[in-house]
Amino acid sequence: MKTISLHARAPELRAAPTRYGNVLETVGNTPLVELTGFLPQGGCRLFLKLEAANPGGSAKDRPAAAMIAEAVRSGRLRRGSVVVESSSGNMGIGLAQACAWYGLRFICVVDARAQPGTLATMRALGAEIDMVSVPEGSATSALAARLDRVAHLVTTLDGAYWPNQYANALNPVSHAMGTMAEIDEALEGQVDGVFVGVGTTGTLGGCLDFVAANARPTRVTAVDAVGSILFGGEAGERRIPGMGAARVPPLAKRRWGGTAASPRVLRVTDLDCVVGCRRLARTDALLVGGSAGGVLQAVRTCHRSLPPGQYVAVAADSGHRYLDTVFDDAWVEEVLGCPPERLARLVGHTTVSRL
pLDDT tens for each residue of 85-126: 999 789 999 999 999 999 999 999 999 888 888 999 999 999
As for how many domains the chain has, the answer is 2
253 and 200, same domain (yes or no):
yes
227 and 211, same domain (yes or no):
yes
The answer to the question of residue 96 being in a domain is: yes
Domain boundary among the residues 161, 185, 214 is at 161
271 and 125, same domain (yes or no):
no
Sequence-distant (6+) residues with CB within 8 A of 239 are 270, 325, 335, 336
Triad 110, 114, 120: Cα angle to 5°: 95
The answer to the question of residue 352 being in a domain is: no
The answer to the question of residue 353 being in a domain is: no
Q: The domain containing residue 270 runs over which residues?
A: 3-58+169-347
The answer to the question of residue 299 being in a domain is: yes
Residue-wise pLDDT for 285-314, tens only, equals 999 999 999 999 999 999 999 999 999 999
* Better pLDDT: 354 or 326: 326
152 and 191, same domain (yes or no):
no
How much is the average pLDDT of 142-170?
96
Q: What is residue 2's predicted lDDT score, i.e. its pLDDT?
A: 54
How much is the average pLDDT of 135-140?
67
- C-alpha torsion 193→42→273→66, nearest 10: -30
Q: Rounded to an integer, what distance in angstroms lies between the CA atom of residue 81 and that of residue 355?
A: 56
The answer to the question of residue 354 being in a domain is: no
Q: What is residue 41's predicted lDDT score, i.e. its pLDDT?
A: 86
111 and 236, same domain (yes or no):
no
Q: What CATH number is associated with residue 137?
A: 3.40.50.1100
Residue-wise pLDDT for 5-41, tens only, equals 544 444 555 566 789 999 999 999 999 999 999 999 8
Find the farthest-apart pair of alpha carbons in the chain and give their distance in angstroms, rounded: 63
Domain boundary among the residues 97, 129, 161 is at 161
Domain boundary among the residues 161, 189, 216 is at 161
Q: Is residue 270 pLDDT above 70, yes or no?
A: yes
136 and 192, same domain (yes or no):
no
193 and 331, same domain (yes or no):
yes
Q: What is the mean pLDDT of the chain?
A: 93
For residues 119 and 129, is the Cβ–Cβ distance under 8 A? yes
Q: Is residue 133 pLDDT above 50, yes or no?
A: yes
288 and 212, same domain (yes or no):
yes
Residue-wise pLDDT for 182-217, tens only, equals 999 999 999 999 999 999 999 999 999 999 999 999
How much is the average pLDDT of 339-354?
92
26 and 154, same domain (yes or no):
no
Q: Rounded to an integer, what distance in angstroms lies between the CA atom of residue 191 and that of residue 220?
A: 10
Predicted TM-score of the model (pTM): 0.93
Q: What is residue 164's predicted lDDT score, i.e. its pLDDT?
A: 98
> Strands 309-315 and 3-5, how do they pair?
unpaired
The answer to the question of residue 355 being in a domain is: no
343 and 208, same domain (yes or no):
yes
100 and 157, same domain (yes or no):
yes
Percent of the chain residues past pLDDT 90, beyond the cut: 82
Q: What is residue 102's predicted lDDT score, i.e. its pLDDT?
A: 98
80 and 46, same domain (yes or no):
no
How much is the average pLDDT of 56-62?
98
